[in-house]
Structure 1
Amino acid sequence: MMGRVLVACEFSGVVRRAFAARGHDAWSCDLLPAEDRSNKHIVGDVRDILDWGWDMLIVAHPPCIRLCNSGVRWLHRPPAGRSLDEMWRELDDGAALFSDLWHAPIPRRCIENPVMHRYAKERIRDYRPPAQSIQPWQFGDPESKRTCLWLHNLPPLEPTVTQKPDAVVHRVHRMPPGPDRSRERSRFFPGVAAAMADQWGPLIEDEPEQVEMQM
């Protein structure tokens, strides 16, 4: 049985296409239009469609710019042209979105984000540690970017590559400032998307046991 898969906060279509290629009715949703102009993309706030009968799986990539450790400094000394109030308000908004996705009425859920700072953890409802952290190079994408996965009724992903490549690219960390920096940093990795579809897709036909899968 193939399921209806919602890929939240994704404009690139990378994860949507991975599940669609394996026969699932996969949709993406983002505030931005689909980069590939797919008609299986909804423009808007994903929270408005969480109860649309996504009966099996959600894979979410909520914005992390205020939640992650790398950006905690801006909560104490904001960048030029921004205020502390704006930084903390964006943190509250990011934590609220993460919380809403974590509690979405969908049986199987995965939320992806970098390592979080303590202020974010304090603001997320029922926060718990991620089930696992992965690197793109473990799935055939020769890049380095530690990514945490929060999982509900899903097992941890099994790496598809057992040896670290000799030449790992630190593209994300070395990306220069610019108007598209945040957009490009959030772009997901095809190898990880394929592993999600391959390993989690077959579980859609099974009834979840409603347990949290933790490492």
Structure 2
Amino acid sequence: MLTHPLQDCSGGFPEYHFKGDMFDVIANRGGTLENGTKHFLDGNWDLVIAHPPCTFLAVSGARWYYHPDDKNLPTEQRRPHPKFPDRAKDREEAVQFFMDVSRIGVNKLAIENPVGIMSSRWRKPDQIIEPWMFGHEASKKTCLWLKNLPLLVPTNIVGKGEVLTFRNGNRMQKWTSDIFFSGVSPEERRKLRSKTFPGIADAMANQWGGKMAA
């Protein structure tokens, strides 16, 4: 199993990580790994599990799309958010990248993303999963668009996770709160919140991966 992250691998094993243009790696059936060695397949890729950047696609970021003073206006009359004037362009580029991923020529494909605009811009996901279905007491709806793959079967149903209520009435999942107040940088918080829960990763590997090469 090989991975292709946008960032340096954080869990070790650079000998399994490509870093570069994913479309080139797929088309060339390999390339240069993060440790500097080269690896190429004899045949075609069998399975790709893709995690396109969700910053501009997820519903959680919708509040940054329009000017806060225009919330009562029809959508077409709202101005861009003053802090993020290029949000519309960024979203269209993110949609295009997602669709490019959906068209890569592999036999089996899974695309993972939070609940967002791709359900309407493309199609509804084949499945929506949660960490609590795979042994983690946490809630985080995750959409899966699948090609030639079965639905993931939950492996360990547990509680949905503690929800904290703050004095101002806002509510937040405890696992998210723990990250937010951990004292790490905003960039590190984003990385931690976007990490795939190990139980979900194990289920994908075991149920979709078949016999894995060492």
Normalised to the residue count of structure 1, the TM-score between the two structures is 0.71
User: 2:175 — aligned with what?
Assistant: 171
TM-aligned CA distance change 1:172 to 1:134, over 3 Å: same
Within a 5 Å distance, the mapping from 1:153-192 to structure 2 comes to 153-164=148-159, 167=162, 170-172=174-176, 175-176=179-180, 178-192=186-200
Distance 1:165 1:29 in 2: 30
Distance 2:197 2:152 in 1: 14
Kindly provide the CA deviation profile for residues 82-120 of structure 1, in whole angstroms up to 9, marking residues without a partner as x. Answer: 432x212221221112111111111100000011137x8
SS of equivalent to 1:150 = strand
Considering only aligned residues, what root-mean-square deviation do their CA atoms show, in Å? 2.5
User: 2:54 — aligned with what?
Assistant: 64
Residues 1:138 and 2:133 are matched in the alignment: yes
TM-aligned CA distance change 1:100 to 1:173, over 3 Å: farther
Residues 1:32 and 2:13 are matched in the alignment: no
User: 1:115 — aligned with what?
Assistant: 115
Distance 2:187 2:211 in 1: 39
Unaligned segments of structure 2, at least 5 residues: 30-43, 68-79, 164-172
Distance 2:9 2:46 in 1: 23
TM-aligned CA distance change 1:167 to 1:129, over 3 Å: same
- Out of 186, 190, 194, the residue aligned to residue 202 of structure 2 is 194
Within a 5 Å distance, the mapping from 1:92-131 to structure 2 comes to 92-117=92-117, 121-122=120-121, 127-131=122-126
Higher relative contact order (CA 8 A, sep 6+): 1
Residues 1:44 and 2:20 are matched in the alignment: yes
Distance 2:90 2:191 in 1: 17
TM-aligned CA distance change 1:164 to 1:51, over 3 Å: same
TM-aligned CA distance change 1:74 to 1:61, over 3 Å: same
2:142 counterpart letter in structure 1:
T
8 Å Cα contact 1:145/1:172 also seen in 2: no
